[in-house]
Amino acid sequence: MDLGAGLIAIAAALSISVATIAPAIGQGNAASKALEGIARQPEAAGEIRTTMILALAFMEALTIYGLLIAFMLLGKF
- Listing DSSP states for 13-43 in one string gives HHHHHHHHHHHHHHHHHHHHHHHHHHHH-GG
3-state secondary structure of 2: coil
pLDDT bucket at 73, cuts 50 / 70 / 90: confident
**pLDDT at residue 51, rounded to an integer:** 95
Structural domain containing residue 51: 3-74
**pLDDT at residue 33, rounded to an integer:** 96
Q: How many domains does the chain have?
A: 1
> Domain with 60 in it: what CATH number?
1.20.20.10
Helices 3-40 + 45-74 axis angle, to 10: 180
For residues 66 and 11, give the distance between their C-alpha atoms in angstroms, rounded to a whole number.
11
Per residue in 33-67, pLDDT tens? 999 999 999 999 999 999 999 999 999 998 999 89
Instruction: Report CA-CA distances (Å) from 70 to 6, 14, 16, 66.
Output: 13, 8, 6, 6
Calculate the average pLDDT of the chain.
91
Q: Look at residue 7 and tell me whether its pLDDT is greater than 60.
A: yes
